């Protein structure tokens, strides 16, 4: 059983006609895009937006029009993957370096749903993944100094291009700082401290933003939802 396909299959059952949908990046989201493309061919009427150039290219190759994010200010649902998701639905999305766009669509959405498998669903976020800061290029040295002052134990590196060794430039024209901690600080503290540094555009911690999750395992698919700050499992037959 392909767990990514299973998570995408269940996610597709939540999508309603005449709704606005956002998609993120990754293999699981690509499977969801396959379902959506087939649904649209069969008469499903939805508006589709994405934070990912790869997902946008896939949808356009399927003949689906994908407007720019700037053309909307709200979504019914936003679906995305993650590096890890904890039991309180706090997510890390550090790999692709597009977390600013992802967080924008997540904030627009009435429902922000993470798709993943059991390996990504953990009691507490693990430090094998960095916290990534998107920062204005002119602020990079200042942000590094401030981060080291607040978190002396952190190891910092500017993400670079593989071929040139020069700083990787995001779609927004910014730099990415990878911050590695021997142990994660308190998430609420890290959220507030990092976001308050002048020059930081966004961080790859999605704290208290995700509203639901679909987790696929070899024993089946589980759906979680945050209601009044409490995360509960929804006993739906999938």
Residue 1, both tokens: 């059983």
Annotated catalytic residue 102: yes
- Paired sense of beta strands 109-117 and 75-80, if any: parallel
**Catalytic residue from among 6, 38, 102, 202:** 102
Which residues, including other chains, have CB under 8 Å from residue 59's CB and lie 6 or more apart? 23, 33, 36, 37, 48, 50, 66
For helices 140-150 and 187-195, give the axis angle rounded to 10 degrees: 150
Q: Rounded to an integer, what distance in angstroms lies between the CA atom of residue 56 and that of residue 50?
A: 6
Length reported for the chain:
238
Q: Are 212 and 113 in contact (CB under 8 A)?
A: yes
Q: Rounded to an integer, what distance in angstroms lies between the CA atom of residue 85 and that of residue 40?
A: 30
3-state secondary structure of 152: coil
Residue 228, both tokens: 């009044």
How remote is the C-alpha of 44 from its chain's centroid?
Answer: 25
Residue 108, both tokens: 């627009």
Cite the active site residues: 102
């Amino acid at each position: 059983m392909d767990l990514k396909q299973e998570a995408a299959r269940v996610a597709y059952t939540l999508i309603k006609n005449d709704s606005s949908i956002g998609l993120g990046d990754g293999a699981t989201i690509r499977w969801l895009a396959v379902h959506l493309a087939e649904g649209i061919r069969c008469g499903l009427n939805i508006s589709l937006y994405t934070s990912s150039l790869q997902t946008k290219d896939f949808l356009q190759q399927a003949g689906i029009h994908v407007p720019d994010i700037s053309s909307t200010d709200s979504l019914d649902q936003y679906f995305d993957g993650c590096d890890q998701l904890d039991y309180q639905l706090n997510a890390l999305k550090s790999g692709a370096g597009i977390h600013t766009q992802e967080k924008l669509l997540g904030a627009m959405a009435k429902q922000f749903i993470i798709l993943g498998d059991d390996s990504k669903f953990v009691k507490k976020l693990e430090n094998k993944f960095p916290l990534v800061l998107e920062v204005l290029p002119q602020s990079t040295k200042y942000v590094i100094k401030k981060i080291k002052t607040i978190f002396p134990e952190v190891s910092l590196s500017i993400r670079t291009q593989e071929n040139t060794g020069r700083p990787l430039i995001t779609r927004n024209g910014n730099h990415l700082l990878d911050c590695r901690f021997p142990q994660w600080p308190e998430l609420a503290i890290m959220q507030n401290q990092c976001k308050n540094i002048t020059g930081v555009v966004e961080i790859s911690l999605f704290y208290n933003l995700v509203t639901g999750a679909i987790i696929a395992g070899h024993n089946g698919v589980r759906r979680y939802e945050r209601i009044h700050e409490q995360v509960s499992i929804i006993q739906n037959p999938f």
